Amino acid sequence: MSHALPEIHLVRHGQTEWSLSGKHTGRSDIPLTQAGEDAARGLADRMQDLTFPIVWSSPSQRAFNTCVLAGFGDRCVKKDDLAEWDYGAYEGLTTKQILIERPGWQLFRDGCPGGETAVDAGARADRITREIREIDSAVLIFSSAHFLRVLAARWLGLPPGDGRLFVLDTASMSVLGYEHDRTEPVIRRWNQT
Supply the angle between the helices 145-155 and 118-135 in degrees, to the nearest 10.
Answer: 60
In a domain, 1, yes or no: no
Burial class (CB within 10 angstroms; exposed 0-12, middle 13-18, buried 19+) of 83: buried
Tell me, what CATH number does 106's domain have? Answer: 3.40.50.1240
Is residue 13 flagged as an active site residue? yes
Q: Check 7, 84, 91, 116 and give the catalytic one.
A: 84
In a domain, 2, yes or no: no
Decide if pLDDT at 3 tops 80.
no
What pLDDT, in 10s, does the model give residues 65-98? 999 999 999 999 999 999 999 999 999 999 999 9
Q: Check 13, 24, 37, 146 and give the catalytic one.
A: 13
Residue 52, domain extent:
8-192
Is residue 84 flagged as an active site residue? yes
What pLDDT, in 10s, does the model give residues 91-126? 999 999 999 999 999 999 999 999 999 999 999 999
What is the per-residue pLDDT for 2? Answer: 47
Question: What count of other Cβ atoms lies within 10 Å of the Cβ of residue 45?
Answer: 10
What is the per-residue pLDDT for 4? Answer: 85
Burial class (CB within 10 angstroms; exposed 0-12, middle 13-18, buried 19+) of 100: exposed
The mean pLDDT value for 172-187 works out to 97
In a domain, 53, yes or no: yes
Q: Looking at the 3D structure of the chain, how many domains does it have?
A: 1
In a domain, 3, yes or no: no
The mean pLDDT value for 16-27 works out to 96
In a domain, 56, yes or no: yes
Decide if pLDDT at 1 tops 50.
no
Average pLDDT, the chain: 96
